[in-house]
Amino acid sequence: MERSVIFSGFGGQGLLFAGQVLAQAAMAEDREVLWIPSYGPEMRGGTAYCTVIVSEEPVGSPIVERPDVAVVLNPPSHAKFAHTVVPNGVVVTNASLVDSRVEREDVSEIALPLSELASAAGDPRLVSVVALGVVAARTGIVLAGSVHRALVDIVGRKRPQVLDMDVAAFDAGIRAAGGRPIAEILRDEARALDATLRETVPVGREP
Amino acid sequence: MTVETRVDDQPRVLYAPPELLADRSTTYCPGCGHGVVHRLVAEVLGELGLGPRTIAVAPVGCSVFAYDFLELDFVEAPHGRAPAVATGIRRVMPDAFVLTYQGDGDLAAIGTGEIVHAAARGEAITAVFVNNGIYGMTGGQMAPTTLVGQRTTSCPNGRDPAFAGAPIPMTEMLAVLPGVAYAARGSVVDASSIGRTKQYLKKACQVQLDRAGFAIVEVLSNCPIGWGMTPVESIEHLRDAVAPVYPPGVIVDRTAPARGG
Amino acid sequence: MTAVAERPADAPFARRTRVLRKGNEAIAEAAIRAGCDAYFGYPITPQAELLEWMARRMPQEGRAFVQAESELGAINMGLGAAACGKRVLVSSSSPGMSLMAEAMSYMAGSEVPIVVVNVMRGGPGLGSIGPGQGDYWQATRGHGHGDYRLPVLAPSSIGEAMDLVAASFEIAERYRTPVILLADGILGQAMEPVEETYRTPPRLAADWALTGADGRPPRVVKSLHLKPEALEQHNRHLRAKEAAIRDAEVRWAGERLDDADLAIVAYGTAARVARTAIARARESGMRVGLFRPITLWPFPDAELRHLATQVRGFLVLEMSAGQMLDDVRLALEGARPIAFHGRTGGMVPMPGEVVAALHRLENRTGGPAR
Ligand SMILES: Cc1ncc(C[n+]2csc(CCOP(=O)(O)OP(=O)(O)O)c2C)c(N)n1
Ligand code: SF4
């Protein structure tokens, strides 16, 4: 099955990065994935976004009309993308900046003060990483542990000095969305692995 | 935005946007110098009453969108070819006021041939050359004017002159050509340099009206995004690092009456 | 917290070792691993990361990199380096490719092997920076003035683009010809997991390359043949070479064609859209397959023609107003109905539009098959 997530907001909110972390997490689960950014001058000032498509098969169309999950971090992107999600889709809304809400019965909108959570974790620019925590906790597209490992890998390679802050932001997102602390999730995933061998881990793919 | 005050109980306008500047905000990055240069162009053309006569040539670069922000007739030239396009206009529109607006990649890299030959022919054209030392639109690559040691996405370890040559002082190079009646360099560092830049631009327009030859005004500008700086840092960098390499001032003025001897 | 932030061991689920790579960067690295000696380029969206990757990596490898003053500069630097028998890559996007037309013609005429990447965007003119396929005619009809054709390879995934880089060098050197690798803004900008397997084609003896006439007669790399008889002779030689390329280098891929009674013909990113559309159309009972040319020149016309004995109709899908459509028509010679669907300007067709076009084609060809 193909699932897609769109991360949208202002340039500078770390959208492309968050998408990349999700893409790497999916890759680490041996799945197919395509990450595509909005690129060029349109990124200046206005709405920037990237799309991540996760699938068990090679990814076909790179453009998604109707994503399964829309992460919307500013008002223009809420107006542009929140209503486009599929029936029973998920909208992750940055309530710190966005007042409006999706007027659809068949959408579950998770509105949380993501910018404030990011600031609390140490840097308002981590808002996308907080959102990533929400996606990991509430959508099941990839395992939270996979996202965590991808985050640690990418940040650890590029900017190890801020790794703790990134992980804190991710954890804050998971918990704000009602998930358990990432440390517990990782421990349980590791136990599940030990207990059941890799093949039976429910990551939604053919062994 | 118009700013008003009252003097002796009479309303007085302190600042009003020039009429030739479109009533919408630009799409340039916050703090970008292109907006300031656009305003100066609009002011000067407005004050000289040239708006309705002007045919302007837009470059390929961030300022390709100049046609959205200046209320002038515009043609879009291929990357670097604005001076040739302007020559074509000049030769068939004797009464038009012909203005080119180019960035440093546009004018000093891909378009070096065109600017040199338009200048050499002494085309009655006013050229505005915005030098921000980088390729803004394509994501911050090295430009011919990038400073030695400056890091860009295509010289990640800083510009190495042994490898990429030294920065090109384009306006000085053009100034040696007899066809160039006037060449000057201003900047957007602070209010007084912006004021001087405006005077240079006005003079460069007058040169064209007098059919004295080719006129160019280089404007040292900032690209906070491409330089990876805040707008304030970028202005400080412009003042402390860029201006010493490209000293502002009048570089040549062949319209000045020859003195004595 | 820090305990959690420690670098984990390898991801526990992955059985494949892949890396996530942006198309532009993957192409650049594949060229380096294929033994590219020199790269010349000029910034342009959506290709700039290719140049930026080369700016960092080529000096590390002790190889030549120049950010040229223009695409004119870049391609002619390429001409110079390739005339010395070096493995050379030049890359750009649509407007820059137009500037290269003159040198492409010179290199075809003087038989200089080189690989040129075009990460196509929307046109004409400055157009848009969105993905496009509007340079198909330009690429497959030789690109510049005069009478010649150049091999054109069109990947439809990032992994395939990496493979085709090595293949492009191989074809360029085997036939002494420029080769165009035709990608688009999606393939340049997207990231996909790729296996880091690279291929370095063996080097052929370049008994024509300029090395200095030391102990041998001078060599000249040129396209000028002032006498019409001589030029015609040279052109015959080029034709013979093109015939050899047609015989040996045609590449294409088929998907779900076994039971198909309709086929979509698409390349590059459009072929990926087609794949999604085909999956949807098959859910509603249509039997559709994909015919995907990988070499756009030489075009797989015999293979397509053969498919016409099996399917009732073809849908050509492009991110252009219909350019490959010409080659499909030429190949099929009216054998079967051909429908077309295209988007332009940087727009990518949506699978839903393609399914609708398939339904229209099905009706034209006599309704659903039984
Ligand atoms: C033939 C061609 N080559 C390359 C480009 C891509 N391109 C667009 S703008 C630009 C350079 C912009 O730099 P500059 O002139 O310094 O202007 P700035 O954006 O910094 O204002 C380039 C290379 C193009 N549009 N056409
Ligand atoms: S990229 Fe640079 S030159 Fe372009 S609009 Fe932004 S600040 Fe201005």
For chain A, give the mean pLDDT. 90
C-alpha B240/C-alpha B218 separation (Å) is 18
Sort residue A93 into left (φ over 0), alpha (ψ -120 to 50) or beta: beta
The whole-angstrom distance between residue B43's C-alpha and the CA centroid of its chain comes to 14
C-alpha C300/C-alpha C327 separation (Å) is 9
| Residue B73 within any structural domain of the chain | yes
- Integer distance in angstroms from the first to the last C-alpha of chain A? 14
Question: How open is the CA angle B172-B174-B175, to the nearest 5 degrees?
Answer: 60
List the single best residue of C276, C280, C292, C343 to mutate versus A (max A Cβ within 10 A): C276
Q: Is B188 in the pocket of ligand 2 (CB under 6 A)?
A: no
Nearest CB to A167 within list C1, C18, C189:
C1
| pLDDT attached to residue C257 | 98
Q: What is the CATH number of the domain that holds C229?
A: 3.40.50.970
Answer yes or no: is pLDDT of C2 > 50. no
Task: Report chain A residues whose CB lies below 8 A from the CB of B62.
Answer: 41
Segment 62-101 of chain C within 8 Å of chain B by CB: 67, 69-72, 95
Q: Which tokens go with A24?
A: 């790497």
Contact B141 C56 (CB under 8 A): no
B7-43 per-position pLDDT tens digit: 888 888 878 889 999 998 898 999 999 999 999 999 9
Whether chain C has a CB inside 8 Å of the CB on B116: the answer is no
C-alpha B249/C-alpha C251 separation (Å) is 62
Task: Report chain A residues whose CB lies below 8 A from the CB of B225.
Answer: 44
> Looking at A32-46, B87-101, B170-184, which range is the least confident one?
A32-46
Task: Report chain B residues whose CB lies below 8 A from the CB of A45.
Answer: 27, 29-30
* Domain A2-199: CATH superfamily, name plus number: Pyruvate-ferredoxin oxidoreductase, PFOR, domain III (3.40.920.10)
- Chain B residue set in contact with A, beta carbons under 8 Å: 27-30, 62, 137, 225
| pLDDT attached to residue A196 | 56
State the CB neighbour count (10 A cutoff) for residue A160: 12
Q: How confident is the model at residue C84 (pLDDT cuts 50, 70, 90)?
A: very high
| Residue C9 within any structural domain of the chain | no
The kind and range of the H/E element at A48 are: strand A47-55
Residues C162 and C301 in one domain: no
How many beta-carbon contacts under 8 Å exist across B and C? 53
C123-139 per-position pLDDT tens digit: 999 999 999 999 999 99
User: What φ, ψ does residue B104 adopt, rounded to 5°?
Assistant: -80, -30
Segment 86-115 of chain B within 8 Å of chain C by CB: 105, 109-110, 112
Task: Report chain A residues whose CB lies below 8 A from the CB of C4.
Answer: 148, 167, 171, 182-183, 186
Residues written for chain B: 261
Whether chain C has a CB inside 8 Å of the CB on B141: the answer is yes
From the alpha carbon of B221, which atom of ligand 2 is closest? 3
From the alpha carbon of B60, which atom of ligand 1 is closest? 9
How close is the nearest chain A Cα to the Cα of C123, in Å?
Answer: 16
Answer yes or no: is pLDDT of C71 > 60. yes
Q: What is the dihedral of CA B32, B35, B40, B43, to 10 degrees?
A: -160
List of residues 6+ apart from B259 with CB closer than 8 A = none
Question: What average pLDDT does this structure show over C52-63?
Answer: 98
| pLDDT attached to residue C99 | 98
C-alpha A190/C-alpha A49 separation (Å) is 33
Task: Report chain C residues whose CB lies below 8 A from the CB of A3.
Answer: none
Nearest CB to C67 within list B60, B137, B154:
B154
How close is the nearest chain A Cα to the Cα of B154, in Å?
Answer: 17
For chain C, give the mean pLDDT. 95
Task: Please tell me whether the overall predicted TM-score, pTM, comes out greater than 0.90 for this model.
Answer: yes
Which amino acid does the sequence have at B214?
A: F
Q: What is the 3-class SS of chain B, one letter each residue?
A: CCEEEEECCEEEEEECCCCCECCCCCCCCCCCHHHHHHHHHHHHHHHCCCHHHEEEEECCCHHHHHHHHECCEEEECCCCCHHHHHHHHHHHCCCCEEEEEEEHHHHHHHCHHHHHHHHHCCCCCEEEEEECCEECCCCCEECCCCCCCCCECCECCCCCHHHHCCCCCHHHHHHCCCCEEEEEEEECCCHHHHHHHHHHHHHHHHHHHCCCCEEEEEEECCCHHHHCCCHHHHHHHHHHHHHHHCCCEEEEECCCCCCCC
Residues C233 and C355 in one domain: no
**DSSP assignment letter at C152:** E
Task: Report chain C residues whose CB lies below 8 A from the CB of A4.
Answer: none
Contact C70 B110 (CB under 8 A): yes
Answer yes or no: is pLDDT of C121 > 90. yes
| pLDDT attached to residue B259 | 60
Answer yes or no: is pLDDT of C370 > 70. no
A80-125 per-position pLDDT tens digit: 999 999 999 999 999 999 999 999 999 999 999 999 999 999 999 9
| Residue B9 within any structural domain of the chain | no
Answer yes or no: is pLDDT of B78 > 80. yes
State ipTM: 0.92
Of A57, A24, A181, whose CA–CA distance to C4 is shortest? A181
Contact C45 B164 (CB under 8 A): no
| Residue B122 within any structural domain of the chain | yes
Contact C20 A167 (CB under 8 A): no
Contact C4 A41 (CB under 8 A): no
Domain range for B49 is: 27-253
Q: How far is the CA of B101 from the centre of ligand 1 (A)?
A: 13
| pLDDT attached to residue B198 | 98
Looking at ligand 2, which residue's alpha carbon is closest to its atom 1? B136
Task: Report chain C residues whose CB lies below 8 A from the CB of A152.
Answer: 5-8
C170-194 per-position pLDDT tens digit: 999 999 999 999 999 999 999 999 9
How close is the nearest chain C Cα to the Cα of A29, in Å?
Answer: 5
Question: Of C229, C248, C267, at which residue does a domain stop?
Answer: C248
Q: How confident is the model at residue A41 (pLDDT cuts 50, 70, 90)?
A: low
Q: A162 to chain C: nearest residue by CA? A: C5
Beta strands C288-293 and C295-297 are unpaired
Segment 44-73 of chain A within 8 Å of chain B by CB: 44-46
Residues C83 and C215 in one domain: yes
Question: How open is the CA angle C319-C345-C192, to the nearest 5 degrees?
Answer: 55
| pLDDT attached to residue B261 | 46
Domain ranges of chain A: 2-199
Answer yes or no: is pLDDT of A205 > 50. no
Residues written for chain A: 207
Q: Is C95 in the pocket of ligand 1 (CB under 6 A)?
A: yes
**Residue carrying the six token digits 């005619």:** C137
Task: Report chain C residues whose CB lies below 8 A from the CB of A35.
Answer: 20, 190-192
Residues C200 and C112 in one domain: yes
From the alpha carbon of B143, which atom of ligand 1 is closest? 16
Question: Of C195, C225, C248, at which residue does a domain stop?
Answer: C248
| pLDDT attached to residue A40 | 64
Number of domains, chain B: 1
> Looking at C1-5, C101-105, C127-131, C162-166, which range is the least confident one?
C1-5
| pLDDT attached to residue A45 | 53
Contact A203 C2 (CB under 8 A): no
Question: What average pLDDT does this structure show over C235-245?
Answer: 98
Residues C192 and C131 in one domain: yes
Residues C348 and C268 in one domain: yes
Question: Of C248, C274, C289, at which residue does a domain stop?
Answer: C248
Q: What is the CATH number of the domain that holds B215?
A: 3.40.50.970
Question: How open is the CA angle C176-C181-C183, to the nearest 5 degrees?
Answer: 175
| Residue B43 within any structural domain of the chain | yes
Strand ranges across the sheet with C178-184: C64-67, C38-41, C88-92, C114-120, C178-184, C152-153, C295-297
> Looking at A169-173, B13-17, C58-62, C324-328, which range is the least confident one?
B13-17
What is chain C's alpha carbon radius of gyration, rounded to the nearest angstrom?
22
C-alpha B153/C-alpha B39 separation (Å) is 30
C-alpha B47/C-alpha C178 separation (Å) is 55
| pLDDT attached to residue A206 | 41
State the CB neighbour count (10 A cutoff) for residue B179: 16
Segment 189-218 of chain B within 8 Å of chain C by CB: none
Answer yes or no: is pLDDT of A187 > 90. no
Q: C188 to chain A: nearest residue by CA? A: A36
| pLDDT attached to residue C144 | 96
Which amino acid does the sequence have at B118?
A: A
List of residues 6+ apart from A23 with CB closer than 8 A = A33, A34, A35, A52, A54, C20, C191
Q: How confident is the model at residue A46 (pLDDT cuts 50, 70, 90)?
A: low
**Residue carrying the six token digits 């309705």:** B52
| pLDDT attached to residue C230 | 97
Number of domains, chain C: 2
How close is the nearest chain B Cα to the Cα of A123, in Å?
Answer: 17
Of A150, A8, A149, whose CA–CA distance to A69 is shortest? A8
List of residues 6+ apart from A30 with CB closer than 8 A = A205, C13, C14, C15, C16
- 3-class secondary structure, A103: coil
- 3-class secondary structure, C19: strand
Looking at ligand 1, which residue's alpha carbon is closest to its atom 13? B135
Of C186, C247, C221, C196, whose CA–CA distance to C103 is shortest? C221
Residues C282 and C348 in one domain: yes
| pLDDT attached to residue C9 | 43
| pLDDT attached to residue B258 | 63
Residues C62 and C198 in one domain: yes
Q: Is B229 in the pocket of ligand 2 (CB under 6 A)?
A: no
Q: How confident is the model at residue C12 (pLDDT cuts 50, 70, 90)?
A: low
B40-59 per-position pLDDT tens digit: 999 999 999 999 999 999 99
| pLDDT attached to residue A201 | 46
Q: Which residue has the higher pLDDT, A74 or B261?
A: A74
How close is the nearest chain A Cα to the Cα of B35, in Å?
Answer: 14
Percent of chain B clearing pLDDT 90 (strictly above): 90
Q: A12 to chain B: nearest residue by CA? A: B225
C299-318 per-position pLDDT tens digit: 999 999 999 999 999 999 99
Of C154, C195, C156, whose CA–CA distance to C21 is shortest? C195
Contact C273 A152 (CB under 8 A): no
Q: Which residue has the higher pLDDT, A31 or A45?
A: A31
Segment 9-48 of chain A within 8 Å of chain B by CB: 41, 44-46
